[in-house]
Amino acid sequence: MVEIREGRRADAEQFVSLLRSLAKFEKLRPPSKAGTKRILEDVFVKKRVNLFVAEDGRKLVGYALYFYTYSSFLAKPTLYLEDLFVLEDHRKSGVGFALFRRCVDEAVSEGCGRMEWSVLAWNEKALEFYERLGARRLSEWYYYRLDERALKRVPKRAS
């Protein structure tokens, strides 16, 4: 039976393995050695981000990584789900739903006005999963990003 619980420092090695599996699934580079060190510190020491894990016996088979933003118009926090990942051999067994549900419960208990996340456009299974749960894709908002290099190129003064 899979248990959903808060991540602990002792989970660090298995969490990093899951994070690397997610990167492979998403066709992205996993965190560098320095990045791995930073995320572990941000999760387990600085508590900048929060972690739920799905544990089957002593093996982690999935995780949800989240943090809070704030809606000025709702005047309430928003739970932002950064990652939801389950190992392939545990998919379609309810683990993903259990992790998602734990995040929903957390959002409710923290008085959040909403919960948000993003999904890669090609990940049809994830899109179907979220839409079955009643989530709707936003069309009126576009997400923008300044990566680390772009942050350094923003001019000091408006032109």
Note the pLDDT of residue 15: 98
Q: For the chain, how many helices (H) and strands (E)?
A: 5, 5
Q: What is the pTM of this model?
A: 0.91
- Residue 19 or residue 144, greater confidence: 19
**Fold that domain 2-153 belongs to in CATH:** Aminopeptidase (3.40.630)
Q: Taking 80 as the threshold, does the pLDDT of residue 159 lie above it?
A: no
- Residue 140 or residue 65, greater confidence: 65
Mean pLDDT of 84-106: 95
Computed over every residue of the chain, the mean pLDDT equals 94
Report the alpha-carbon distance of residue 66 to residue 74 in Å, rounded.
20
Q: With CA atoms as reference, report the closest residue to 68 among 33, 108, 112, 20.
A: 112
CB 52 within 8 A of CB 4: yes
Q: What confidence category does residue 135 fall into, taking pLDDT thresholds of 50, 70 and 90?
A: very high
List the catalytic residue out of 130, 142, 143, 144.
Answer: 130
Q: Answer yes or no: 63 catalytic.
A: no
Express as a percent the part of the chain with pLDDT over 90: 84
Q: What confidence category does residue 141 fall into, taking pLDDT thresholds of 50, 70 and 90?
A: confident
Helix axes 12-25, 33-44, angle to 10 degrees: 120
Quick: pLDDT tens for 36-76: 999 999 999 999 999 999 999 999 999 999 999 999 999 99
Contacts of 112 (CB under 8 A, 6+ apart): 68, 76, 77, 78, 79
